[in-house]
Chains A and B, each alone.
Chain A
């Protein structure tokens, strides 16, 4: 069942449904648990499920573009930071010297991380950069 705006905020309406990366609920994340080392940075990360729930809420609140961003984000949660930063860098103007470089990047997201929306988004950029001549040397 899709979440609705009345489910918001999730941390208040259904705290038990908010589960961190390593299975900890909000109630488990206490100062004492941090001090004892039970809770680490990993437990303080958002999950794909939480982003999907927020996407549903955003869509119900009449914000379809925000929902799509959350859905793209949900695909990036488990992508390592250096891969994300490399893709961002490649999307900046003049970084990719050919359309193929971006298409390769898109394929990696699709195949390695199951990030189909992200992959499609990068492919869309690849086509646009091609038409707008952005594969030019900048520095």
Chain B
């Protein structure tokens, strides 16, 4: 075998998921530049005769359609002269100055060109962007959006997964299909599932523009967001639209009482091949000015499908944050990306979400994959069903409201069953399909579509085409639900459709919480420093805290009580009097802690204390020595237990062991923390290690120099796995320590079979 001339650490690194990510060199000419490019224009504006005659260095007669739309519909010519004359560094400082109100900055943005907006935010580092984002976002209360899709387009699973997404607290759910014909079935199933448990979750079905609007008009969906805009003219045309066609569509949605936002994100122009050598941020600033000009209330922004590409560029992730900042600065609702999975590295995933979790956002993810990765028909999200609990814990760690709430296991199952029953009832009532009990049962418990025996895409196409052809609307579904005993779900569904009559939820950043509409109008972000803006209330904090399987002392004591019974059958400890110092050179003392075998019965590794004690005694006896067991009650500290034992031992060698299993070999006359051997990693210490410990203590007593017993560790996060329990157990020990208490000689009798 040849030895490669290579530091093997690189080979280790080759195996990390990170190395599956590819990174691109900065190359402005070819569009790979996050914040600036030589081709980016300098911020400038010309105004004459009451109109914009030049924009960022382009004269009116050279305007492309994007320039023209921005000049006509975004720029406020009464504000532009003042806003454009301001020093960009000064405006950047205002963005992070808690004393400058949001409204002041929003007004200035109405007079700023894309190049100016981009130049201002380029002055901010990542932390400043996150802070400014938190201050500038339009609605005060943060929210979140989920993807609900599956690999079979199975409507039963869609209903069940919609219901669980709603229960986790998502304010919006979005579906799409593997097969575009299945749109109507997807829409009906998610609408029904989303009405289980509570009402108020908005729902969209991402499909072809005209079809999506039709599904909305049938009342199944309540919002749309896949109205894409682009930052170069050629990309726009290849995307088969113009600013005017998209603005017309925006008005069409509003005319049907359906909430809508546009979509744009860095990297789309680069992906589509027409980037004009401009920086990602500048192109995105154009998209965002366009969207404000179109009069849409909000944007899905932050890379979106271009995020994985943007993240390959130096500063790309900071750019994604910067474009989100421009969006909210322009007073748009922001569904802030964090959807397409931009990396294989879990560290990069966590780092990507953190600023948004802490800063809050109208919709932190514009598609958190509430389902498993392989079931996500949009492609995997940054965070998915697999990682949802990680996210819940991040909320708890940082006391940050990410919009989600832990869901007890039994409740999840109840909701899934209810949703599957509800959508099945609707199918039967409307003569669309007749799901069997076996199908229903398999979906209810399924984590993903691999586990289901349910509808396949072809079955779904038949259902979907029937819904469309027969002109079934949400009214038919509401009636069917009610007729089959799902009255609450029928009410919930009606409440969502009813929203469109007043149009209140068309306003910026609108969502439903607790049955009421909140938006940037009646819940505006009023951040002006600590104590203002969104704060996690005490009630909400308790909700966030309530993740599953939390340890407390009661729980630890309950589990110890179970082991107490087992240990009572194996060992008896009998105190025979006060332990005195010995001068027998064969005397080795094992010093046990106050709660050892009395209140605590197993080590953190799960070994019965009787077994641990037995193997140590055996090992010492095997060398012809006489071990004594002594209980110390004046201390629970390993070092002092060990040293106290050594001081009593005729050989001068003692073992100290805590009930949780931490152990030490000590020698008379040494300083307390200068022991002979220490077993500090109790959770990975095996019974054989304790036997070795006994053997080595005997060896030291015989004047030998044994090989120390080393407990190998493989880098386990010992603290996170065990410290909560260890601290609770140790508090039980220290709680019964008695100052000055004399050591007790303990007679140990092994009474039954081994543990």
Contact = CB atoms under 8 A, between A and B. Distances in A.
A132 to B, nearest CB: 5
A66 B237 contact: no
A137 to B, nearest CB: 12
Interface string A47-71: 1001101100110011111111110
Nearest to B107: A62
Nearest to A60: B521
Interface in B55-100: 64-65, 68-69, 72-74, 76
B294 A65 contact: yes
Interface string A104-117: 00000000000000
B501 A57 contact: no
A51 B254 contact: yes
Given A9-B504, A44-B498, A62-B103, A72 B251 contact: yes
B495 to A, nearest CB: 9
Interface of A is mostly: helix
A50 to B, nearest CB: 5
A88 B209 CA distance: 10
A74 B519 CA distance: 21
B595 interface: no
Interface string A16-54: 001010000010010100110001110111110011011
A31 B516 contact: no
B603 interface: no
B494 interface: yes
A100 B712 CA distance: 82
B330 to A, nearest CB: 10
Interface string A128-139: 110010100010
Given A54-B504, A65-B292, A92-B242, A121 B255 contact: no
A69 B295 contact: yes
Contact of A45 (B106, B256, B508, B521): B256
B273 interface: no
B500 A128 contact: no
B241 A92 contact: yes
A47 B507 CA distance: 15
Interface residues of A, number: 64
Contact of A121 (B247, B254, B256): B247
B384 to A, nearest CB: 34
Instruction: Give the residue among A34, A62, A68 with the most B Cβ atoms within 10 A.
Output: A34
A63 B250 contact: no
B551 interface: no
B295 A9 contact: no
Interface in B205-262: 209-210, 213-214, 217-219, 233, 236-237, 240-242, 244-245, 247-257
B478 A34 contact: yes
B453 to A, nearest CB: 34
B491 interface: yes
Contact of B254 (A73, A122, A129): A73
Nearest to A76: B255
Given A63-B331, A124-B244, A85 B210 contact: yes
Interface in B429-474: 473-474
Nearest to A25: B501
B491 A31 contact: yes
B338 interface: no
A129 to B, nearest CB: 7
A39 B479 CA distance: 11
Contacts, number: 199
A51 B507 CA distance: 10
A103 interface: no
B522 A9 contact: yes
Contact of A88 (B107, B245, B482): B245
Given A31-B487, A70-B295, A118-B251, A45 B500 contact: yes
Contact of B252 (A9, A35, A67, A84): A84
Instruction: Give the residue among B103, B237, B252, B503 with the most A Cβ atoms within 10 A.
Output: B503
A54 B466 CA distance: 36
Given A11-B502, A132-B64, A132-B233, A67 B295 contact: yes
Given A54-B504, A58-B507, A132-B64, A35 B295 contact: no
Nearest to B253: A73
B120 to A, nearest CB: 20
A41 B296 contact: no
B490 interface: yes
A2 interface: no
A41 B219 contact: yes
A102 to B, nearest CB: 9
Interface string A78-105: 0101001101110111100000000000
A69 B247 contact: yes
B65 A132 contact: yes
B503 A54 contact: yes
A67 to B, nearest CB: 7
B475 interface: yes
Contacts of B237: 93-94, 134
A23 to B, nearest CB: 12
B65 A26 contact: no
Contacts of A129: 65, 242
9 contacts: A26-B498, A31-B490, A41-B219, A50-B501, A64-B76, A66-B508, A87-B248, A93-B245, A122-B248
Interface of A: 5, 8-12, 18, 20, 26, 29, 31, 34-35, 39-41, 43-47, 50-51, 53-54, 57-58, 61-70, 72-77, 79, 81, 84-85, 87-89, 91-94, 118, 121-122, 124-125, 128-129, 132, 134, 138
Closest 10 CB pairs of A and B: A69-B295, A46-B257, A73-B254, A125-B244, A76-B255, A91-B245, A9-B504, A72-B251, A11-B502, A73-B255
Given A8-B519, A44-B497, A93-B240, 14 more contacts: A11-B499, A20-B501, A26-B498, A29-B494, A50-B502, A53-B503, A66-B297, A69-B251, A79-B255, A84-B252, A84-B255, A92-B240, A121-B247, A132-B64
